[in-house]
Amino acid sequence: MKAKLSALILGVVLSTLLQAQQRIISAGGAMTELLYALGVGGQLVAVDTSSIYPESASKLPKIGYHRSLSLEGVISLKPTLLLGSAEMGPPNVIQQLQSLNINVQQLPTAVTITALEKRITEVAKLVSKEPQGQALLAGIRANQQQLAKQLKAVKKPLKGVFLVQPGGRSPMVAGTGTSANTLMALAGILNPAATSVKGYRQLASESLIAMAPEVIIVPDHMFKNSSSLATLIAQQPGLIQTPAAKNNRVITVDSSLLVGGVGPRVVEAAQKLAAEAYPDLHSAIVKVP
């Protein structure tokens, strides 16, 4: 009995020691966020430039943008695992890293909840945190179901557009295949742009008027940089004709949410968005832990 116990303790200690020796590099904001959510943030030795959440990730060494990794730069950090999206590259660098026996894993960027669930399962397995992965998944599913149930009370869903504004130019609208679209769908907001737009596109003012969005959603960094609805309208004149602008209905969402696909916080963000979009349901939704 004693021997068994000490063997167990030894085993636990050894496996923690072994895990502590994992040196992980994460390329992609959503991936980094997921690794922190799985509790392996401490094993990260570097991240890419898109990893801005959580705060401690941004303090780690930066390996540059995930599509233009530096071969020797990555090697110099002695990683045991390089986790990134399918777009991570350049391809020859990835091949060389693999030939140097560094475990390189490329997972498709998740822009839907199904893909996110798959990603969580796979990443949890790669970093030996399956129980944490299961718990994370269960939490996301529970929140999602709860939100969907609460949203059934909505009789007439709102039409909304998600706008991002690159460098003060006229805004781009989010269509299908974007994490913003997923976020809106979760929050029970109809995205009229999804029928005609794939990815992010600049839109003619007239099409925007025709879509008649009742709510405008923007990433919060846009309004932090001394911008406002007024400047947004100035850059896209058609906006003023929309019900959203007339009723001054603009909702901001956390910018760090949407970098590199959807991450584990997407349902929580959707709850917040739904609570703001449907004030009547507000109290019901914000009760969510």
Partner 1 sequence: MKRSQKALSVIVVLAVGLPICLLLGIANGAVSIDLADVVAAIFNNLGFSLTSTSDGFSQNQLIIESIRTPRVLLASLIGAALAVSGALMQGLFRNPLADPAIIGVSSGAAVGAASAILFESAWPAGYAHWATTMAAFLGGLAATWLVFKIGTSPYGTSVATMLLAGIAINAFAMAGIGLINYLADDNQLRSIIFWQMGSLGAASWLNVGTMALVVAAVVLVLPRYANTLNALLLGDSEARHLGVNVDKAKKWLIIVTAVLVGVAVAFAGMIGFVGLVVPHLIRLIVGPDHRFLLPAAALLGAMLMVLADLCARIIISPAELPIGIVTALIGAPFFMFLLLQKRQTISG
Rule CB under 8 A: is residue 92 a binding residue for partner 1?
yes
Residue from the set 1, 5, 55, 91 that interacts with partner 1 by CB under 8 A:
91
Rule CB under 8 A: is residue 67 a binding residue for partner 1?
yes
Nearer to partner 1, 111 or 216 (CB): 111
Q: How far apart are CA 207 and CA 189, in angstroms?
A: 19
Rule CB under 8 A: is residue 288 a binding residue for partner 1?
no
- Please give the residues from 189 up to 228 whose contact with partner 1 meets the rule CB under 8 A: 199-200
- Please give the residues from 19 up to 48 whose contact with partner 1 meets the rule CB under 8 A: 46
Residue from the set 6, 11, 87, 138 that interacts with partner 1 by CB under 8 A:
87
Q: How far is CA 289 from CA 142, 145, 222, 243, 285, in A?
A: 11, 14, 28, 33, 9
> What's the burial of 96, exposed, middle or buried (CB within 10 Å: 0-12/13-18/19+)?
middle
Q: Which residue stretch of 72-80, 183-191, 217-225, 268-276 sits at the interface with partner 1 (rule: CB under 8 A)? A: 72-80
Minimum distance of partner 1 from residue 224's CB (angstroms): 21
Nearer to partner 1, 179 or 271 (CB): 179
Residue from the set 19, 58, 80, 96 that interacts with partner 1 by CB under 8 A:
96
**Inter-residue contact 51 to 26 (CB < 8 Å):** yes
Q: How far apart are CA 108 and CA 92, in angstroms?
A: 19
Nearer to partner 1, 88 or 140 (CB): 88
Q: Which residue stretch of 7-15, 73-81, 226-234, 275-283 sits at the interface with partner 1 (rule: CB under 8 A)? A: 73-81
Q: Give residue 125's region: left, alpha or beta (phi > 0; psi -120 to 50).
A: alpha
Rule CB under 8 A: is residue 61 a binding residue for partner 1?
yes
Q: How far apart are CA 68 and CA 210, in angstroms?
A: 40
Q: Which residue stretch of 6-14, 66-74, 223-231, 237-245 sits at the interface with partner 1 (rule: CB under 8 A)? A: 66-74
Helix %, strand %, coil % for the chain, to 5?
Answer: 55, 15, 30
Minimum distance of partner 1 from residue 228's CB (angstroms): 25
Q: How far is CA 216 from CA 130, 133, 213, 239, 246, in A?
A: 38, 34, 7, 9, 11
Minimum distance of partner 1 from residue 100's CB (angstroms): 7
Task: Say how far residue 271 (Cα) sits from the centre of its chain.
Answer: 15
